[in-house]
Structures are given as C-alpha cells and as structure tokens.
Chains A and B, each alone.
Chain A
Amino acid sequence: MKMPIKMFDHHIHMTSRTTDDYQAMADAGIVAIIEPAFWVGQPRTHVGAFEDYFLSLVGWERFRSKQFGIHHFCTIGLNPKEANNPDVNDGVMELLPIYLEKESCVGVGEIGFDDQTAVETKIFEAQMQLAIDFDLPVLIHTPHRDKKAGTERTIDLVKASGIEPGRVLIDHNNEETLAATLDSGCWAGHSIYPNTKMDEGRMAALVQQFGTERITINSAADWGVSDPLKVPKTVDAMREAGISEADIETVVWHNPIAFFGQSGRLDLGPDGERPRVDQTELWEGNSVLRGQEAKIEAAVEDAAGPAE
C-alpha cells in the first residue's frame, strides 16, 4: 500500500542505529530526520571525543542517511548530563561556534536540564545566547526525573533568555507538561517510546485534546530500548483514533518543517522530495553495502514513495 503521508522524525540518534533501521524507516515513509547532538551512553573523557562526534553528525552519518534516501540534518549543543563534567564542558562550549556554522546544522540542541544543577543552568543559558547570536531555533530536552518542575524551570529560563518562544521546541512532553509548554508559546515535542515517555495511543489522545498547532512527535531512538519506527506507528494510531489525514500530516511533516525551517538551512529540495538514492556511492570493503547489488533509483519521483 502506498503511504501518502511524508514523515519527518525530528529527533533520532542514528549514530546508534543500523542500516536495517534506515531501510525500514525509508520504507515506512520517513523522508527527513534530525539527529540532535546528545549523550552517547558512555561518558566522554575529553573534548576531542565531542569534536569527532560532531564531525560524524555533519559527515559520515549524513552520508549514510542519504544512501537510503533520507535527508539528514543535525542540531549541535552540549547535552545537560555532560554539561556537569568539568573535564569537557568549557572546551566544548568554545568549539560550538564552529559547528553551529556547519551547513547541515539546523538548530542548537539538545540542551536543557538533567539533574537541574547550577552548572547545567549556566551552560543552558549560554547556549540560549548562542541560539540568539546564530539566529537558530533550539531543541530542548526535558528531564526524566522531577520532570514537571524541570519543564517549568525550562520555560522560565527560556523566557528570561529573551529568545522568541516560537523559536524554541521543548521536547519529551507528557500529559503533565503539555499545557504549560503550549501556554509558553514554545513548540511541544513528544518522544514516542516503547516503555517510557509517551506511547502511540496516548499521543493520539493528546492530539484529539490539544489539536495540532505547535505539536510534533519523534522517536528519540538511540542506543537504548527504543524504536525508529515510532513516528509511522503513531501515524497508524492517529488514523485508528479517527484523526484526519490533514491533521496527521501537520503533526509529522508540516510542523517540524515550519519549526526547523526557521534556521533558513532546512534544504529539502523543491517539494520536500527524498534525496536520490544512488548506492553506487557505496563500495565493498569499507562501506555500508557489502556485496549486495546497488540500488539506483532512476529519478527522484521513483524515490518519493516507500517500497511496495
């Protein structure tokens, strides 16, 4: 069946995912993704490890994604957990201006609170200022622990920063935080997760209750138990709940484009079509394609829909 809706997963950590994931995402209708810089599970012990990570986000991972017909963008920032590490925090902050200039960087993020420490606050504020200086939208992570209070503190810090709230997306919302996030004028992201955060059915209910304005969803898939197909699965759940195709498309395509398009750097081609898949860009030995026949799509139009 042809799936008419194009999808944009605006928060997914592909560095931790396989080529099977990329193929399944493309087949399910995902056309574009954003990979926010974040914590990689294992704590980093020196600044150079961050630099190589940022380089993979603007380099190798972007190339890998394109080979499956998916546009890849990133956001760059110092995550709140590692903002607490004195071995790296100042050094990473010094490097950020280089990576915020990169062509495929469409925002500052993900930044915010984890333990809600004084150092996290200082670095969060400094990165809000970078967003203003670089004229970039911001993707904000909200904490797992003490979430409601952490989200309220986040909103206060956003207001105090002087940034226009419409250029801020507060992510990982739930039933307890969504109303406050929307009231602040910020955008509200929802990470659909197998066990925690938010699930497909609850998300459909939230869209029915709150509508689609400034609401987005993502998989936030990473190195833990998570699912890179949560956006298409939530599309199915929204259909089952009777939400219109137009509203679904607003949530999973038009809204993330409207938000991150504020960077002026979100280049999806004239109609938001897929990048042309040419796996002759892959070769045996070192590449992600080992011995399979290369898939060359004759034209962009052929790549626009998922595999039959």
Chain B
Amino acid sequence: MTECFAEILWARVNAADGPAKTWLERVWPGGIEGAGASPTSVQFRAAFAGCARRFRDLTLQADDIRSLRDAGVLDGANWQLDNVARTALLLRALSLLPSGEQAEIVRQVYLRGDYREQAAVLQSLSFLPQPERFLELAIEACRTNVLDVFEAIACENAYPAAMFPEAAFNQMVLKAIFMAVLVGRIAGLGQRATPELKRMVIAFASERQAAGRTVPDDVDLIVNLDAA
C-alpha cells in the first residue's frame, strides 16, 4: 500500500509536465536511472525542504485522496501534494539505506524541518518500515509548542494509539485539552481511555474549577468513555 505515495506524486508531476517534474527528476533519491541524490546528502535534505513550494501549484485529485484513505491515511482530504511527496521521499530514501541507518535519516529530517516539514514527517511515521523505531521521535514531537506540529502527531494519526506507552499517550491527551485541540480528533482514544487517564483529566478539571476558570467540554467526553 505504501507505493501509493510515490505513485500519486509522479502521476501529478507527470500530468503537469512542468518545472516540478524537472526538479523531482533531479532530486529523486537514487536517481531515475541510477544517479541522483544520496539519502544522506545535503541535496536530499534540501529536496525535502523544497517540496512545499515546488509542488504548491499542483493539487491532489479525488482518486488520489481515495488511494490515500485506502493506504490508511485518516485525513486524506487535508493532505496536499507536499505531504504525499515528503512521505514518498522518505520511503524512497529508506529503501536505499541499510536498515541500521534508516531511523537516523528520519530523525535528522524531522529535527531540521520547518514546521510543515515536521508535520509531514509525523504524518508519515505509520507508513515507514518498522515504525516502532520512531517512538522516541513521536513522543518528543508532542513536546512542541507549535500547534501544527502537535496536531500532526496527535490528531487523525494512528501512530500514538498504536505505539505510545500509557504515560506518553495520557500526556498527549492532556496537552490536547490544554491546547484546545478537540480530543475527538485523537485516533483510538476510546481504546486507550484508562482509569489513569480519567484520573488525570478529573484532576485537571478540579484545578480549573478551583482557579475559577472554565472546564473544557472534552473533560466530560473522556470521563464518560467506557472502554478499558
């Protein structure tokens, strides 16, 4: 299923047949026919950075969004071609590297990204080989102060519910409430609503009430979840 990212990307740039195609042919990791950017090079990192503006004028088609959904992207309608391109570039780069060097490339691209790049890395984690390798990176991402980055890992992303240990998952949910991010957007919340999470949320509500401040509606939503 993960081939769909590269397929969509190349379909869009080939259809447009303009400067985006020329550029992608030049930077595609490993090259089209042998040569091309090494995944460990400055050129690869520059290519990853350049996706947003190089593909700005190209839009995803309805079929592309269906393919993304089939591949497991939970919010395909919110993806743009640069998200697809960045996932495709990461998959391609990892395929060219020995398994022991793969995780470090993902980490470097994440750390050196602007926030749209960081969001793209986080949205792609579930689709990369051996995704459990990226757990630390995903937990670290939840410490961001930038809303777009936090939403990319916390919302419409299957990774946290599938991979996070309880403490990290609970911190993410609590931080979503603090940031006024609707917890309904957290995939798999129902399966991860433990007594400990409910205790933390009730304690948060109590603290708010004691301070004379309003308590977000999402507190009740979590307390009333009956899973776990």
Q: Select from chain A the residue with minimum beta-carbon distance to B52.
A: A103
Q: Select from chain A the residue with minimum beta-carbon distance to B148.
A: A63
CB-based contact B53/A103 at 8 Å: yes
**Interface 1/0s, chain A 83-99, versus B by CB < 8 A?**
00000000000110111
Q: Select from chain A the residue with minimum beta-carbon distance to B53.
A: A103
Please report the C-alpha to C-alpha distance between residue A203 and residue B49 in the assembled complex, in whole angstroms. Answer: 39
CB-based contact B146/A101 at 8 Å: no
From B46, B53, B114, A58 is in contact (CB under 8 Å) with B114
CB-based contact A265/B53 at 8 Å: yes
Binds B, one of A155-163, A218-226, A279-287: A279-287
CB-based contact B146/A59 at 8 Å: yes
B115 at the interface (CB under 8 A from A): yes
A53 at the interface (CB under 8 A from B): no
Q: Interface size of B by Cβ–Cβ distance < 8 Å?
A: 22
Q: How distant is A52 from chain B, measured CB to nearest CB, in Å?
A: 10
Q: Select from chain B the residue with minimum beta-carbon distance to A296.
A: B180
CB-based contact B145/A60 at 8 Å: yes
A144 at the interface (CB under 8 A from B): no
Please report the C-alpha to C-alpha distance between residue A284 and residue B116 in the assembled complex, in whole angstroms. Answer: 23
CB-based contact A284/B178 at 8 Å: yes
From A55, A98, A285, B46 is in contact (CB under 8 Å) with A98
Q: Point out the residues of chain A lying under 8 angstroms from B114, CB to CB.
A: 55, 58-59, 62, 102-104
Q: Interface size of A by Cβ–Cβ distance < 8 Å?
A: 27
**Interface 1/0s, chain B 17-38, versus A by CB < 8 A?**
0000000000000000000000
A51 at the interface (CB under 8 A from B): yes
CB-based contact A103/B116 at 8 Å: yes
Q: Select from chain A the residue with minimum beta-carbon distance to B114.
A: A58
Which residues of A4-31 are within 8 A (CB) of B? none
B50 at the interface (CB under 8 A from A): yes
Q: Select from chain B the residue with minimum beta-carbon distance to A54.
A: B112
Please report the C-alpha to C-alpha distance between residue A49 and residue B133 in the assembled complex, in whole angstroms. Answer: 28
Q: Point out the residues of chain B lying under 8 angstroms from A285, CB to CB.
A: 178
Q: How distant is A123 from chain B, measured CB to nearest CB, in Å?
A: 17
Please report the C-alpha to C-alpha distance between residue A102 and residue B51 in the assembled complex, in whole angstroms. Answer: 9
Please report the C-alpha to C-alpha distance between residue A230 and residue B222 in the assembled complex, in whole angstroms. Answer: 50
Q: Select from chain B the residue with minimum beta-carbon distance to A294.
A: B180
Q: Select from chain A the residue with minimum beta-carbon distance to B175.
A: A283
**Interface 1/0s, chain B 35-77, versus A by CB < 8 A?**
0000000110111011011000000000000000000000000
CB-based contact A51/B145 at 8 Å: no
Q: How distant is A304 from chain B, measured CB to nearest CB, in Å?
A: 23
Q: Point out the residues of chain B lying under 8 angstroms from A104, CB to CB.
A: 114
Give the A-binding residues of B (Cβ under 8 A).
Answer: 42-43, 45-47, 49-50, 52-53, 112, 114-116, 118, 145-148, 175, 178-180
Given contacts A63-B147, A98-B42, 4 further A-B contacts (CB under 8 A): A103-B114, A264-B53, A265-B53, A285-B178
For this complex, 7 residue pairs linking A to B, each with C-beta atoms less than 8 Å apart, are A51-B112, A55-B114, A97-B46, A103-B52, A103-B114, A284-B178, A286-B145
Give the B-binding residues of A (Cβ under 8 A).
Answer: 51, 55, 58-60, 62-63, 94-95, 97-104, 264-265, 280-281, 283-287, 294
Leading 7 A-B pairs by shortest Cβ distance: A58-B114, A101-B49, A101-B50, A103-B52, A281-B147, A280-B180, A283-B179
